[in-house]
Copies of this chain bind each other. A is one copy, B any other.
Amino acid sequence: MKTKVTPLTTDFYEPTMAYGYRKSRKLEAPASFDYFFRECPFGGEFAIFAGLADLIDFVRDFKFSDEDVEYLRTGPLVDCDSEFFEWLREVNFSSLKIYAIPEGSAVFPKVPPVRVDGPLVIAQLLETYLLSLLNFPSLVTTNAARYRLAAGNDMVLLEFGLRRAQDGMRASHYAWIGGFDGTSNVQAAKDLGISPRGTMAHSFVSSFSDFADLRTRMLRVKNGEEKDFLSSVLNWRERLGYRGTNEGELAAFVGYAQAFPQALLALVDTYDTLRSGVPNFICVALALREFGYAARGIRIDSGDLAYLSREAKRMFGEADAKAQIVFLTRLVIGVSNDINEKILWSLREQEHAITLMGIGTAIATCDPQPSFGGVYKLVSVAGKSKIKLSNDAGKVTIPGRKDAYRLIGEDGKAILDLMVEAGAPAPRVGERVLARHPFKETKRAYVTPASVMPLYELVWDEGRAVKLPSRNEVRERVKAQLALMREDHLRRVNPTPYKISVSNELYRYMHDLWQEEAPIAELR
């Protein structure tokens, strides 16, 4: 998708470091940076990697405008040498090679989804752009995939979060990539090439007070002539014995049906779901049917959703029986009241009749975890591997340029990811390989893979984008990758951590480096 990231949408330390590198270092050394994360979001044991196409689009188009450079030259970098601004005017990312795990793949802590190789100063400059273009898409896509796992494959999942989203465009886009069926966001639907979804708000319903608010009683019969639609609705109300329903609400459903006779999804909870909304909908739906049209169903936006959906379905059944048809019971029963992943799982355990869910705030903002902790760290410069030590053990990096492989077992499920030094031989099918936990000496295992997936593809080759799949292919990859994982890695409660590992050679190398770099405390 098109993003609004400009060349100045970066942390100030990127241009200051660029100046610092150019002024102080002996040469523009070749470097490698890893993009990786330390913990999976949402308490899970997997993430879905997304945003790569946005990144490559940005990298391809990157250029500081004259205005950008003038701003830096006369503003925050006013003390810098003029040759730096000549350099800024020309700088681009054509000297980089970007390797990535395919977008839509399941990814795991410490196995970098992206490795960037290139001149230190250029690869560094990419940092903030890369992080801001990959982190949120990976978060939303992971979230959406979790919702799909929770809802099952038969539930229609729609994203309705634009009004409370922080970034509604990316939220809608990546919710669809992660497994949602649609969105209410018209611009996003247009961009994705899908139909936007939605029908009416409470205000539409409550704006009608009675039938006098209607422009006409009439509706054209499908492929026929105009007839008195309101009378047909009122006949059904009489016949079904519904009393005390809100007349304004009924007028609103009639009005909407007159405008969209093929697309009535009635919001039924403005006054009282079971006493007013559902009966009013049933009358209009049966009248529409007499006129040759099919209503879509109802949406419930408050109250006990499982209970109300069951009762609505029961009322549909009663009305079908009285009308001697099988029609209403096949319509959509949609719900949309602050649904989140936890509620989805809880609904699974209850009896309900819900067939469609509109999910808003929780998918669009990724509440309860609104950020993805992806970081971008230097792992090699001028041929030397670099390790970031830290007072926090969790922040230590795996040094050096690395390749990575996913080893698949005989059951077709992923066993573990294995990182090796870049250029080291790939693990081979049927051959035993020693896989070690990167930090815990005692954790290691031999693996004999039934198949081996090399994880990295070259996606940006010094100025040329390669191997970028379509949005649909990315969306399909999410499904295929989830199918590749054992269920216990994906489950919501206490999921089994997926093993990520390093080769014995890489293990030894990184621990030697740690010994070398870390200062030793002097206790007295």
On A, residues with C-beta under 8 Å from B are 4, 6, 8-13, 15-17, 19-26, 29, 31, 33, 71-72, 75-76, 79-80, 120, 124, 127-128, 131-132, 135-136, 160, 162-171, 184-187, 189-190, 195-204, 206-209, 212-216, 244-246, 254-256, 258-260, 262-263, 269-273, 275-276, 302-304, 308, 361, 364-374, 376-378, 381-382, 384, 386-392, 395, 517-522
In the assembled complex, the Cα of A90 lies from the Cα of B148 at a distance in Å of 41
In the assembled complex, the Cα of A438 lies from the Cα of B249 at a distance in Å of 25
Residue contact A518 to B163, C-beta cutoff 8 Å: no
Residue contact A200 to B168, C-beta cutoff 8 Å: no
Quick one: copies of this chain in the complex? 2
Residue contact B371 to A361, C-beta cutoff 8 Å: yes
Residue contact A12 to B370, C-beta cutoff 8 Å: no
Residue contact B370 to A366, C-beta cutoff 8 Å: yes
Which of A16, A33, A361 is the most central at the interface, judged by chain B CB atoms within 10 Å of its CB?
A: A16
Residue contact B166 to A275, C-beta cutoff 8 Å: no
Q: Whose C-beta in chain B lies nearest to the C-beta of A373?
A: B164
Residue contact B162 to A11, C-beta cutoff 8 Å: yes
Residue contact B25 to A215, C-beta cutoff 8 Å: yes
In the assembled complex, the Cα of A215 lies from the Cα of B198 at a distance in Å of 62
Residue contact B392 to A9, C-beta cutoff 8 Å: no
In the assembled complex, the Cα of A321 lies from the Cα of B202 at a distance in Å of 71
Residue contact A9 to B260, C-beta cutoff 8 Å: no
Q: What is the minimal beta-carbon distance from A159 to any residue of chain B, in angstroms?
A: 10
Q: What is the minimal beta-carbon distance from A214 to any residue of chain B, in angstroms?
A: 6
Residue contact B186 to A9, C-beta cutoff 8 Å: yes
Residue contact B24 to A245, C-beta cutoff 8 Å: no
Q: What is the minimal beta-carbon distance from A471 to any residue of chain B, in angstroms?
A: 17
Residue contact A303 to B392, C-beta cutoff 8 Å: yes
In the assembled complex, the Cα of A12 lies from the Cα of B168 at a distance in Å of 14
Residue contact A302 to B198, C-beta cutoff 8 Å: no
Residue contact A200 to B13, C-beta cutoff 8 Å: yes
In the assembled complex, the Cα of A370 lies from the Cα of B363 at a distance in Å of 11
Residue contact A17 to B517, C-beta cutoff 8 Å: no
Residue contact B187 to A8, C-beta cutoff 8 Å: yes
Question: B residues within 8 A CB of A16?
Answer: 198-200, 259-260, 263
Name 8 A/B residue pairs within 8 A (Cβ), A-sorted: A9-B168, A16-B198, A20-B256, A20-B259, A24-B214, A76-B196, A132-B165, A244-B522
Residue contact A12 to B197, C-beta cutoff 8 Å: yes
Residue contact A391 to B136, C-beta cutoff 8 Å: no
Q: What is the minimal beta-carbon distance from A228 to any residue of chain B, in angstroms?
A: 15
Q: What is the minimal beta-carbon distance from A168 to any residue of chain B, in angstroms?
A: 6
The 5 closest A-B pairs by CB, nearest first: A24-B255, A303-B391, A203-B378, A12-B196, A13-B198
Residue contact B20 to A519, C-beta cutoff 8 Å: no
Q: What is the minimal beta-carbon distance from A195 to any residue of chain B, in angstroms?
A: 5
Residue contact A519 to B15, C-beta cutoff 8 Å: no
In the assembled complex, the Cα of A392 lies from the Cα of B337 at a distance in Å of 11
Question: B residues within 8 A CB of A216?
Answer: 24
In the assembled complex, the Cα of A200 lies from the Cα of B15 at a distance in Å of 10
In the assembled complex, the Cα of A19 lies from the Cα of B204 at a distance in Å of 11
Residue contact B203 to A384, C-beta cutoff 8 Å: no
Q: Whose C-beta in chain B lies nearest to the C-beta of A188?
A: B9
In the assembled complex, the Cα of A520 lies from the Cα of B275 at a distance in Å of 9
Known contacts: A24-B256, A209-B384, A391-B302. The answer to whether A162 contacts B128 by CB under 8 A is yes
In the assembled complex, the Cα of A285 lies from the Cα of B256 at a distance in Å of 72
